[in-house]
Amino acid sequence: MPLIRQPKNFLSGLLFMGFGLASLIISRSYIIGTAAKMGAGYFPRALGIILIGLGALLCLLSLRSTQEPKIVWRWRPLAIVLLSVCSFIWLTNYLGLILTSIILVLISSTASEEFRWKEALISGVILGLAATALFVYGLAIPLPMWPTFFSSGA
């Protein structure tokens, strides 16, 4: 039997310990203070220590108890979804919301194995127009509608 029987709990524990450690390191320059004048560093440090302690406990508990299945990571859908969101950040101010929406929909649709070019394109166009009507016209969210190099910033 492997040593780590509950990989989910073990990794969670490591993750929490990591956050706790980061908190300790980053907050080391903040003043701790006294009870009457508690500084900015008191809370982050206390949290860091507790996170490390309880995270370690979680790791330890995962060593015994019942066996659990391995974790199956699938990075592809995650990467595609997040990339499509990045495209929004990078492109909207140049291409405008309509074109960017189409690109976002096209990219994100490829995350599904049922992806079909035509369908995604049509849904992208519809969503782009709907989003522009709704958010730019309806809610006055300050995003450009059309590519900004067409007009001189107007």
User: According to CB under 8 A, which one of 4, 19, 32, 129 is a site residue for other proteins?
Assistant: 19
Residues 76-115 that bind other proteins (CB under 8 A): 77-78, 81-82, 84-86, 88-89, 92, 97, 101, 104-105, 108-109, 111-115
CB 127, min distance to other proteins, A? 6
Which of the residues 132 through 151 are near other proteins (CB under 8 A)? 134-135, 139-143
Query: How many Å apart are CA 81 and CA 74, to the nearest integer?
Result: 12
- If binding is defined by CB under 8 A, does position 49 make contact with other proteins? no
CA–CA distance, 42 with 27 (Å, rounded to integer): 9
Which DSSP state fits 154? -
Say if residues 26 and 51 touch (Cβ distance below 8 Å): no
Residues in CB range of 118: below 8 A, 6 or more apart: none
Q: Which residue in 73, 118, 150, 151 binds other proteins (CB under 8 A)?
A: 73
How near is the Cβ of 36 to other proteins at its closest, in Å?
3
| Residues pairing with 38 in the sheet | 33
Residue 120 binds other proteins, judged by CB under 8 A? yes
User: Nearest approach, Cβ of 82 to other proteins (angstroms)?
Assistant: 5
Q: Is residue 56 a contact partner of residue 17, using CB atoms and an 8 Å limit?
A: yes
